[in-house]
Amino acid sequence: MWQIFDEIDSSGDRRISFMEFKMFENTLKKDYKIDCSNIRDLFDSIDTDQAGMILFDEFAAWAVD
């Protein structure tokens, strides 16, 4: 799970911005079969504290759900 998070986090700041998430959209669709029809809603649903960034604990909770 960390490897995927780290791959999305292209800046290496241990947070995923919306732009980083959007850049990874095709991989999420193709390799992980994630519905990205509304990428902003998906991002917001993972960003549970609504801070505008996805932290690893938020990503992990979403991924195992």
Asked if residue 36 is part of any domain, the answer here is yes
Task: Tell me what pLDDT residue 65 has.
Answer: 84
Average of per-residue pLDDT across 8-15:
97
Asked if residue 28 is part of any domain, the answer here is yes
Task: Tell me what pLDDT residue 14 has.
Answer: 97
Counted domains in the chain: 1
Q: How far apart are CA 52 and CA 63, in angstroms?
A: 18
Contact 11, 24 (CB under 8 A): no
Average of per-residue pLDDT across 41-58:
98
Asked if residue 54 is part of any domain, the answer here is yes
Tokens of 21: 């998430």
The tens digit of pLDDT for each residue in 15-49 reads: 999 999 999 999 999 999 999 999 999 999 999 99
State the residue range of the domain holding 46: 14-64
Q: How far apart are CA 9 and CA 37, in angstroms?
A: 21
Q: How far apart are CA 35 and CA 39, in angstroms?
A: 8
- Of 46, 16, 34, give the one whose Cα is nearest residue 6: 16
Task: Tell me what pLDDT residue 17 has.
Answer: 98
